[in-house]
Structure 1
Amino acid sequence: MNQLSVRIGYTSLTGARVANEDFGGYVTPAGAELMDKGILLAVADGLGGHENGREAAERTVRGLLADYYATPATWSVNSSLERVIQSLNQWVLSQARKYRQTAGMATTLSAMVARGTRYYLAHVGDTRIYRLRGGGLEQLTTDHTWVHPELDSVLSRAVGLDSKLSVDFADGDLMVGDVYALMSDGVWATLGDERIRKILEDETDPEAAAADLAMAATRAGSPDNCTALVMKVDGLPPARLPEIIASGSALPLPPPLKPGQVIDGLTVEEVLHHSLVTLLYRVADAQGRQRVLKTLRNGAGDVENCQALVYEEWLARRVVDSRFPEVIDWPGRHHLYYLMSWHEGATLKARLAAGHRFSPAQVVELGGEILRGVGALHRLAIVHRDIKPDNLHLDAHGRLRILDLGVAASDGHAFNEINNPGTPSYMAPELFAGERANEASDLYAVGVTLYELLARRYPYGEIEPFQKPRFGDPVAVTRYRPDTPDWLEAILLKAVAPTPAERFETAEEFLLALELGAHRPLRTPRRRPLMQRDPALGLKLLAVSSVVLNVFLALLLFAR
C-alpha cells in the first residue's frame, strides 16, 4: 500500500427542526496533496435564528475545506488548522455584528485530518468525534458546555462566540480497520455511546453507517438535526517525511570527485566548496546544463548528517521563489546528494573580501530582496537560522539568492539541535541565553548583514565561537560610514537592537521601513540609560562608594 486508503459516508437529516442548521463535508485529494495535506473531514452545528446558524456552519466548513489546502506544505497540520479556524472565527464574528438579526450567529466545529499514518483533530463546541477500534468505542473530543439551571446545557466555546477562540487539538496513530465518526449532538445525545458503537461495528460500509446513525437518531425522537460523517481506514502508507528521510539517507555517499570524473551521468567541472561536513561541486549533464551538486564528505556520512541532507532537500523543494536556487530532479541519482540550479556570480562576503564598497542605495536595494526572500521562508514556517553575507549570492545579472538551508528549521522541526546553529556574530542576543532561533532572530541576522555591508564591521564587534558576549548599545553606522543617511541608520539600529521587542516584528515591517526610507523615517533610537545597559552597574557603584566611605572614615579615625 503506497498511500492512505479510506472510505467515507455522510448523512445529514433535518429531523424535528424546521431547517437543517448542521453542515458537514470532506475532501479526498490525490497525489502529492494527499501525502502533504491529507484527507480533511468536518462537521458543524450552527447557532442563531433566521437561518444564520446554517450560514455560520456552512461557511465555516466550506472555508476550512478550501483554505486548509491553500496553506503551505511545510506548516504542521495543527498550525494550518489553527490559522484557518481563527480566520473563520473572525469572519463569523464580523457577520454577527453587521445586523441585529445575525446577533448570536455562531457554530460548533469538529474537524479531522488523516495524513500518512496519523490523524489530527481540531474541535470546539459539542459536536463529537468517536473512534471504533478493536470493538471499543472512544470519544476523542471533549464537549465545551456548562450546565444552565433552565436549559440542558449552554455552549462555552464556539466559532463566532468570542474573539479569543480556544481550539482543542489532538493527534494519534491511525490503524487499518479504524472507524472514525463525526456527529452533531442530535445524534450522540439521542443514541448514546453503546448504540453508536453497535451501529459502527455492525455496518461495514461507511455510507450505510452514517445513514443508520442519522436515521436511528431521528426515529428515536431526536429534537435536533441529525448529522453523521463516518470514515473507515482500509490501508496505510509508510510515514511520509520519515519515509523520505529513511529511503534517501540509505543511498551511498559519492566517492571524492575530481574535475572530469562522471557520477550518475553528471560530469564534475569544479569543486565549489568544502567544509568539515559538506561538499559542493559544479557539474554538467549530457546536454551541457550546469548544476550544483551538494553532498557530504565521506567522513561525515553518519546517520544524522545523512538525514539532515535529505531533510534540507525536502525543505528546498517547497520554497518556490526566485530568490532561492531551484532544486533539480535527477532520475538517474544512485548516490546521496541533490542538485540545484547554477548561477554565475559571487556571494556578498566574497564581494566584500574583494574590496567592493556597497553604497547606501545598494544596501537598501539588497535589503529589500533579502527581506522578500526571508519573508517567503517565514510564510512557509521555515526559519533559515544562518543568514549572513556568505549565504547571500549575487548572480551575473545582479539577482540575489539566499543559499544554504542546511540548518533551517520548519515549524520547529530540525536536525542537529544540540545547540542553536548559525554564525556567532549574526546570532541574536537571546540565542546566547538559550532561546530557540525563530523569525525574530532571522531578522536580526538580516540587520547585522546590512550593517556589515555598509560598515565592514559588526554592530557589537566580532563574536567568537563559545564566547558569551554582552550586548549594550550597537555602534552607530555613521561612525564607520559617515555617508549613511540618518533614516537608514535608524532602521539598522532598530534591526539589531539587543531585545526582540525593540526590533521589527516581521520581514514585511522591516521591508516597509526600507521602502518608505526618507519619506517616512523612523525616529532615531535614543541611547539607553547607563543603568539599563549595565544592570549590575548600580551594585558596582554601591560597592565602590562603600569602599571609599570606609577608607574616609578610617582616615578620620587615625587623624584623631
Structure 2
Amino acid sequence: MRISIGQWSDKGRKDANQDFHGALIPVAPLLGMKGIALALADGISSSRVSHVASESAVKSFLTDYYCTPESWSVKTAAQRVLAATNSWLHAQNRRSEYRYDQDRGYACTLSALVLKSATAHLFHVGDSRIYRVAGRSLEQLTTDHRVVVSSEVSYLGRAMGVAPHLEIDYREVAVEPGDVFLLATDGVYEHVDADFLISTIAANSDDLDRAARLAVEEALRRGSPDNLTIQILRIDAVPAPDAGDLFQRLSDLPLPPLLEPRAEFEGYRILRELHASSRSHVYLAQDGDGGPAVVLKVPAIDRRDDRAHLRRFLMEEWIARRVNSPHVLKPPPQSRPRRHLYVVTEYIEGQTLTQWMRDHPSPDLPTVRAIVEQIGKGLQAFHRLEMLHQDLRPDNVMIDRTGTAKIVDFGSVLVPGILETMPDADRSEILGTVQYTAPEYFLGEGGTPASDLYALGVIAYQMLTGRLPYGGDAATATTRARQRKLVYRTALNDERDIPVWLDGVLRKAAHPDPAKRYQELSEFLYDLRHPRKHAAGARRRPLIERNPLAFWQGLSALLALAVLVLLAGRI
C-alpha cells in the first residue's frame, strides 16, 4: 500500500477554528490488518464548545479504531468506536448547561475514510463531504444530513453528540492506483469549484499539502465566511492479494516433513500420532526435555499445494491466540522462532464429544445441558470477535477429564478482518461437515451467528436422541424448495424423559430457516433451562407416536363397532 496525503485547515474569517482533522498510517502488522484512516470533523457555528467535540471525535476515531480486535471488519470496528464517541459527547451535553439547547452543545459533523487492501470504507454523519475525482469532475460519495427550511434557514438533521443513538452512513468503494479522494468541510466545497480543485491537485501532485493550502486560500479569497479544512488522499499503489504480514509468513516458512514417534522437531519430541486426515496430521509431542505435553499439527501431504488450505491452516493459531475462553482450545506461549509451517496447541487429556456420546448413549438432561452450555459459551467468545466457527461438530469438541468442553479445530473459522485483505478468496466454499452445516450455506448465502447456533442445536438434539433432527435429508436439501420440505423429527419418545417444551427449543434452534431460528446464543442457552411455550414444538404428540399399541387397539375397537352398527342396520 502506497499513498500520498495532503491536509490543510484554517480558521478563515472566524475567531477560532472549530474544525479538526487527522490521518494515521500505522506500521505493520496493523497496516495490513486495519488499514489507513483519515477523519475530518466540523463544529457547529452556534456552539462555543463544538471545537471540543470535533477534536474528540477525530482523535478518538483515529486512536480507538486501532485498538479494536483485528478480527473485526472495518465496518464493525469503526461503527463501534463512533457509537462510543457519540455516547460520550451526548453525555457531556446532558451534564452541561447546553442539555436543552443542542445547537450550543458538544456536537459536530464527521466524515472518515479507512483504506484497507483495495477498498475504501466511508463513514459519514452531517454535512462535511467526501468526494472522488472522476475525470474532470468530482463525484460526491456522501449525502448531506442538512435539513433546509428556507433559503436562509437550515439545520443539521444528524450530527455527532446530538442524540443518544447515532445513525451513521456507511459505504464501500473499490479503489485503484491513481484514485484521488477529497474530504472537505462546507467552508471549502461551497466556495471552490471542481475545476480549480482538480487542476490544483494535478499541478501539485508532488506536494499535496500545498494543493490543500491553495484550495483553502482560494475558498477564502472567494468569500468563504466559515472555517476551512480539506484533506486529499491519492492512491499510489494497492497491495497485492495476500500481501499482509500473516501471509508473508506463509511464503517464508517451508513445509515440515511427516513426523515419526521419537523424532526431534524444532525442540519438540514427537511421542505419537493422534489423528490423521486429508487436511492435517496431528501429533502428541513434548516441549523440550521434561516439558509439558502439547499437540503439534502439520499440513497433510495431499493439500500442500492448496494455497487456500495452507492459508486457513496458518490462521488457526492466529485465531486461537485471540479467542479467550476456557471453552476454546488455547496455544501455549511461543518460546522459540519457527523454521517450518506448523501449529502448536495445548494438549487436552480427554475424548471427543463423538466418543463421549458413544460411551454415554443415554445421558441425563442436566449433563447434556451442562455440555451444550459450555460449547455455547465458547461460541460466544468467537462471536464477540465477529468470528464464525462454521465447522462445529462433535469431532471438534473435546471433553477433558474434569468434564470441561472445549471447541477445537479452527481451520474453517471466518474472520471478517482477515477476509477484507483477501479479495480473491472463495467465499462460497462450504467448509463445514454437511450433517451440521446450516442450510443457508447450501444456498450460497453468508453465515451469521445463527448458523453456528444451528450446529449447536443439532448437537444438543443428537446428544439427547442419538440421531439427527432431519436424518440425512438436510445434507441433500440444496435448494430453498427442498429445505421448506424438511420435516423435523420430534425428540420425544417413550424411552427418554424429555419435556415437550424442550422439544420446542430444539426445533427452533435447528430450524432450516435462519429467520425462524434463535438469533442469539444467550436466548437459546436460557431456554434450555427455563420452560417456555413454543408454538412450533409445544404441540402434544399424536397417540400413534406415544403409544402405538393403544392406537391400534382403539382403531380396532372403532372398526369393530362400525361393523356391529352396519350389521344391526341390516337386521
Question: TM-score higher than 0.5 here?
Answer: yes
Distance (Å, rounded) in 2 between the aligned partners of 1:417 and 1:111: 28
The DSSP-based 3-state class of the residue aligned with 2:518 is coil
1:32 aligns with 2:29: yes
Matches within 5 A, 1:290-369: 290-303=293-306, 304-327=308-331, 329=334, 332-355=337-360, 357-369=362-374
Quote the residue 2:20 is aligned against.
23
Quote the residue 1:371 is aligned against.
376
The DSSP-based 3-state class of the residue aligned with 1:318 is coil
Asked if the contact 2:398/2:408 (under 8 Å) is kept, the reply is yes
Asked if the contact 1:366/1:400 (under 8 Å) is kept, the reply is yes
Structure 2 portions without partners, runs of 5+: 541-571
1:444 aligns with 2:454: yes
- Following superposition, the deviation at residue 387 of structure 1 comes to 1.2
- Following superposition, the deviation at residue 434 of structure 1 comes to 4.8
The DSSP-based 3-state class of the residue aligned with 1:74 is coil
- Pairing partner for 1:495 from 484, 503, 509: 509
- Following superposition, the deviation at residue 526 of structure 1 comes to 4.6
- Following superposition, the deviation at residue 358 of structure 1 comes to 3.4
- Following superposition, the deviation at residue 136 of structure 1 comes to 7.7
Q: Greater shift after overlay, 451-460 or 373-382?
A: 451-460
| Letter of the structure 1 residue corresponding to residue 393 of structure 2 | K
Asked if the contact 1:25/1:43 (under 8 Å) is kept, the reply is yes
- Following superposition, the deviation at residue 179 of structure 1 comes to 6.8
**1:503 to 1:130, Cα distance in 2 relative to 1, 3 A:** closer
Distance (Å, rounded) in 1 between the aligned partners of 2:520 and 2:224: 51
Deviation track 1:370-404 (CA, whole Å, cap 9, x = no partner) reads 12211121222221112122111122333322111
Distance (Å, rounded) in 2 between the aligned partners of 1:25 and 1:444: 44
- Following superposition, the deviation at residue 505 of structure 1 comes to 0.9
- Pairing partner for 1:475 from 466, 485, 490: 490
**1:88 to 1:473, Cα distance in 2 relative to 1, 3 A:** farther
1:455 aligns with 2:470: no
- Following superposition, the deviation at residue 495 of structure 1 comes to 1.9
The DSSP-based 3-state class of the residue aligned with 1:228 is strand
Distance (Å, rounded) in 2 between the aligned partners of 1:117 and 1:499: 34
Distance (Å, rounded) in 2 between the aligned partners of 1:416 and 1:120: 21
| Letter of the structure 1 residue corresponding to residue 220 of structure 2 | T
Distance (Å, rounded) in 1 between the aligned partners of 2:27 and 2:152: 43
Asked if the contact 2:470/2:489 (under 8 Å) is kept, the reply is yes
Asked if the contact 1:82/1:167 (under 8 Å) is kept, the reply is no
Distance (Å, rounded) in 2 between the aligned partners of 1:373 and 1:198: 56
Distance (Å, rounded) in 1 between the aligned partners of 2:347 and 2:409: 13
Distance (Å, rounded) in 2 between the aligned partners of 1:460 and 1:481: 19
The DSSP-based 3-state class of the residue aligned with 1:349 is helix
Distance (Å, rounded) in 1 between the aligned partners of 2:168 and 2:314: 36
Asked if the contact 2:266/2:338 (under 8 Å) is kept, the reply is yes
| Letter of the structure 1 residue corresponding to residue 310 of structure 2 | C
Q: Greater shift after overlay, 393-402 or 430-439?
A: 430-439
Asked if the contact 2:428/2:444 (under 8 Å) is kept, the reply is no
Asked if the contact 1:123/1:141 (under 8 Å) is kept, the reply is no
The DSSP-based 3-state class of the residue aligned with 1:279 is strand
Asked if the contact 2:147/2:155 (under 8 Å) is kept, the reply is no
Distance (Å, rounded) in 1 between the aligned partners of 2:8 and 2:285: 58
Quote the residue 2:548 is aligned against.
none
Distance (Å, rounded) in 1 between the aligned partners of 2:374 and 2:490: 25
How many residue pairs were aligned? 520
- Following superposition, the deviation at residue 102 of structure 1 comes to 1.0
- Following superposition, the deviation at residue 453 of structure 1 comes to 2.2
Asked if the contact 2:146/2:158 (under 8 Å) is kept, the reply is no
Distance (Å, rounded) in 2 between the aligned partners of 1:66 and 1:490: 47
**1:300 to 1:35, Cα distance in 2 relative to 1, 3 A:** closer
- Pairing partner for 2:58 from 53, 61, 64: 61
Deviation track 1:284-339 (CA, whole Å, cap 9, x = no partner) reads 33243332222332123232333332344444443343332234547553443322
Q: Greater shift after overlay, 264-273 or 105-114?
A: 105-114
TM-score, normalized by length of structure 2?
A: 0.76
Distance (Å, rounded) in 2 between the aligned partners of 1:466 and 1:198: 60
The DSSP-based 3-state class of the residue aligned with 2:447 is coil
Deviation track 1:111-156 (CA, whole Å, cap 9, x = no partner) reads 12234565433334442345689x9885563453789694389688
Quote the RMSD (CA, aligned, Å).
Answer: 4.1
**1:511 to 1:294, Cα distance in 2 relative to 1, 3 A:** same
| Letter of the structure 1 residue corresponding to residue 520 of structure 2 | T
- Following superposition, the deviation at residue 442 of structure 1 comes to 0.7
Q: Greater shift after overlay, 160-169 or 288-297?
A: 160-169
Structure 1 portions without partners, runs of 5+: 531-560
Distance (Å, rounded) in 2 between the aligned partners of 1:387 and 1:24: 45
Distance (Å, rounded) in 2 between the aligned partners of 1:95 and 1:170: 32
Matches within 5 A, 1:260-275: 260-275=262-277
Deviation track 1:160-216 (CA, whole Å, cap 9, x = no partner) reads 6897846242334465x9875432121232233344345544385555555554344
**1:11 to 1:151, Cα distance in 2 relative to 1, 3 A:** same
Asked if the contact 1:265/1:332 (under 8 Å) is kept, the reply is no
**1:249 to 1:35, Cα distance in 2 relative to 1, 3 A:** closer
**1:355 to 1:363, Cα distance in 2 relative to 1, 3 A:** closer
Quote the residue 2:547 is aligned against.
none
The DSSP-based 3-state class of the residue aligned with 1:382 is coil
Distance (Å, rounded) in 2 between the aligned partners of 1:54 and 1:26: 18
Q: Greater shift after overlay, 360-369 or 425-434?
A: 425-434
- Following superposition, the deviation at residue 423 of structure 1 comes to 2.7
Q: Greater shift after overlay, 471-480 or 183-192?
A: 471-480
1:390 aligns with 2:395: yes
Distance (Å, rounded) in 2 between the aligned partners of 1:103 and 1:480: 69
Q: Percent identity?
A: 32
